[in-house]
């Protein structure tokens, strides 16, 4: 597919948007499976941009760069070492990928000051990632923390 720059004689080859969207979807699936599910921190450097910023509703501070991303994965996986991630839906448009997923695991390590309960959780989350050149540069995440706290026995379930 050729695209020309308006007002010049320059033409350049561009990857079709559908191919870029599919590549970004595959990157998100790989992240869910290998980084979050398997705990493979080695691939974070190639997945997360140096100037990455994540806005996470469950985190009091913004996550920055590959090191911040890695630290976040380590915190979650140390609390839930048997963490399983099931990718339910992946939708891509332009440079963004929206993912709906389910997390399952056993609370065996400290999490946000909460001592291990030994209880299992199953919670849903939704994330949006913005990609540039096959790396994620910005992210937004929301996880059902109320349900998690109820399942851990930290918050009483109404009724």
Name the residue range of residue 125's domain: 12-151
Q: Per-residue pLDDT for 128 more than 90?
A: yes
How many structural domains comprise the chain? 1
Q: Per-residue pLDDT for 3 more than 70?
A: no
Half-sphere exposure of 132 (CA within 13 A, CB side): 8
Q: Per-residue pLDDT for 46 more than 80?
A: yes
Higher pLDDT, 15 or 97: 97
pLDDT (average), residues 118-130: 98
pLDDT (average), residues 40-52: 96
Q: Tell me whether residue 110 is in a domain.
A: yes
Q: Per-residue pLDDT for 4 more than 50?
A: no
Residue 143's pLDDT band, with cuts at 50, 70 and 90, is: very high
At 10 the three-state DSSP class reads: coil
Q: Tell me whether residue 70 is in a domain.
A: yes
Determine the pLDDT at residue 59: 81
Determine the pLDDT at residue 16: 63
Q: What is the dihedral of CA 102, 54, 35, 83, to 10 degrees?
A: -40
Name the average pLDDT for the chain: 90
Q: How far is CA 142 from CA 31, 101, 108, 128, in A?
A: 17, 11, 22, 9
Q: Per-residue pLDDT for 154 more than 90?
A: yes
Determine the pLDDT at residue 15: 54
Higher pLDDT, 69 or 5: 69
Q: Tell me whether residue 7 is in a domain.
A: no
Q: Tell me whether residue 50 is in a domain.
A: yes
Contacts of 61 (CB under 8 A, 6+ apart): none
**CATH code, domain carrying 113:** 3.10.450.50
pLDDT tens-digit profile of 20-45? 999 999 999 999 999 999 999 999 99
**Closest to 74 measured CA to CA, from 98, 100, 22, 39:** 39
């Amino acid at each position: 597919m050729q695209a020309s720059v308006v007002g010049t004689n320059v033409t350049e080859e561009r990857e079709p948007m559908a191919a870029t969207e599919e590549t970004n979807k595959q990157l998100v699936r790989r992240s869910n499976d290998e980084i979050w599910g398997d705990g493979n921190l080695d691939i974070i450097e190639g997945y997360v941009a140096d100037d990455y910023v994540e806005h996470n509703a469950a985190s009091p501070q913004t996550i920055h760069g590959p090191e911040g991303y890695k630290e976040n994965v380590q915190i979650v996986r140390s609390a839930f070492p048997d963490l399983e991630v099931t990718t339910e839906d992946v939708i891509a448009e332009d440079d963004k990928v929206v993912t709906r997923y389910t997390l399952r695991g056993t609370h065996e390590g400290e999490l946000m000051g909460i001592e291990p309960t030994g209880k299992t959780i199953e919670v849903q989350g939704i994330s949006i990632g913005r990609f540039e050149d096959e790396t994620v540069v910005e992210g937004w995440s929301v996880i059902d923390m109320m349900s998690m706290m109820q399942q851990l026995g930290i918050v009483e379930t109404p009724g």
